[in-house]
Amino acid sequence: MSHPTETRRLTTRRLTTRRLSPRQRILTGISVVAILTLGLFGASSLLNSSNTASALRGHPEILRPGCTWDSSGYYVQNCKVWSESQKREVIVQIRASSGSDSGVYLLDGMRASETRSAWTTDVQAARVYDAKANTTLVMPVGGASSFYTDWDGGAGDKNTVIKQETFLTSELPAYLEREFGVARNNNAIVGLSMSGGPAVTLAERHPEQFKVVQAMSGYYQTDNPIGALGVFATQSLVSNYVSGIVNMWGAPGGTRWTDNDPSKNVGKLAENGQVLIISSGNGFLTPTELAKLAPQDQISAIALEILSAVSTVLMQLQAKQSGASVISLPNYGGHTWENWGRALGDGKGHVLETLRNNPPVTAKTTVVSASGSPDPEGPAKVTMAVKNAAAASPALDASVLAALESTDASSASSETPASSESAASSEASDSVDPSTDVSTSAPAAPESVAAESAAPAEESAAATTEPTVPQVEPSAPSVSEQPAPSTATTTTPVR
């Protein structure tokens, strides 16, 4: 049995060995504080994922919150974006950039699916704009027969609310900025068939968002009886929107029809230094198209592309006469995805060069004549030049000339000498020979893109306001691409 004194000594020795020195106590305290700080930071990051995503520019390999991977591969994500104006979620298929803040919006056609964009099924857009392109691809799903605009009334039997313009230019950009780091002022927009004209209109109406627009096989002269009839026919046959011709923009001939006619507002592209890339096929089907299409689809693919080719020629002339920067891409084939996939690749170099080199539109400019003063007779000269070109072309019939006459009349009634600061006064004053090729004043495409055959037209206008050139940000390392899906897809001609 141990003595009580010895027991106290042992207890004191044990307590002494467990006691920490002052330095150890300080280090232990610092460690505890550091662990607590890291834990709180991690918890706040998880609770506020939007803050993390706002700094997450690029990184296509990282899946964003609420998104799922698409089966097409190439790091395409399926994201649901809330549209307050339409009170519903819209699926948007997105492939993040490799580090840049630019974006390319790809609109679908007349028969757009509500589940996937045809840019991921009929054309692998993410393979065309690969990781080296270093831009975010934005492919909204749906929009069949909508013309990607804000409707005045409801659509179809369900009275569906359609506010596509609000979604594409306000709600979606906010989401892309927050989750993918896409800037609101460094974007391109691409449209085909039904969405070709609306893509140009969206660029005209929102120059601060879109620097460049590419339109393929579009229809651009809609504010006339023939154009209105075409809108009615397509909406009725495809989506059963028999009231769409009135519920979309009001009665034909109204101001909203004029506001949404891309050919009547093309001067805005010149005012704001934007670039128009335009193309159409020639209506002669390729062997591949003939093999894929049923006989009835072959007829529609030929007819629709011939109509688009006529509208495209007119739009090229109108845009060139307005002083806009126009790049005309030669193409062939019918109204098919083979045509549009080829055009997407041909226009890629021009789109990327414009996004990299052109400054964002921060203030509208006033285009003046070569003498340095606005030309009040510019609109009349533009209309007359286009009418002369149309009259000389055997491909254009009397109905097209009648549409031009109505354009001339509406322009004459709305213009006054006092409106020199308006968009109409910005039309270039020099008359251009319609037989010459379209101006290609935009930067040349890389060697992989077909070189533009037309020489740059002589500049007839100068801008009085120059926007500030943005700083160029370094690009993140490129990300290796996923393999393409092995299943082949069959294209449909009418979009």
Q: Which residues of 125-137 are buried (b: 16+ CB within 10 A; e: fewer)?
A: bbbbbbbebbbbb
CB atoms within 10 A of CB 50: 9
Residue pair 224/311 in contact (Cβ under 8 Å)? The answer is no
Residue pair 379/318 in contact (Cβ under 8 Å)? The answer is no
The residues, ordered by sequence, that sit 6+ positions from 469 with a Cβ below 8 Å of its Cβ are 359
CA 423, 427, 430 angle in degrees (round to 5)? Answer: 170
With CA atoms as reference, report the closest residue to 102 among 200, 201, 173: 173
Among 193, 217, 239, 369, the active-site one is: 193
Helix (H) or strand (E) holding 202: helix 196-205
Among 72, 165, 308, 335, the active-site one is: 335
Phi and psi torsions of 191, nearest 5°: -140, 160
Helix (H) or strand (E) holding 403: helix 398-414
- Whether residue 447 lies in the annotated active site: no
With CA atoms as reference, report the closest residue to 425 among 483, 467, 366: 366
Residue 82 pairs in a beta bridge with 89
Helix (H) or strand (E) holding 122: none
Structure tokens at 285: 């089907």
Structure tokens at 397: 């019939």
**CA diameter of the chain:** 126
C-alpha 116/C-alpha 485 separation (Å) is 15
Residue 461 pairs in a beta bridge with none
Structure tokens at 269: 């592209």
Residue 206: C-alpha distances to residues 97, 166, 364, 421 (Å): 23, 11, 11, 19
C-alpha 218/C-alpha 421 separation (Å) is 30
C-alpha 141/C-alpha 240 separation (Å) is 19
**What separation, in Å, do the N-terminal and C-terminal C-alpha atoms of the chain show?**
101
- Amino acid in position 482: Q
Structure tokens at 463: 């801008």
Phi and psi torsions of 285, nearest 5°: -70, 140
Residue 210 pairs in a beta bridge with 187
- Whether residue 206 lies in the annotated active site: no
Among 171, 204, 289, 305, the active-site one is: 305
C-alpha 443/C-alpha 351 separation (Å) is 9
- Whether residue 193 lies in the annotated active site: yes
Catalytic residues: 193, 305, 335
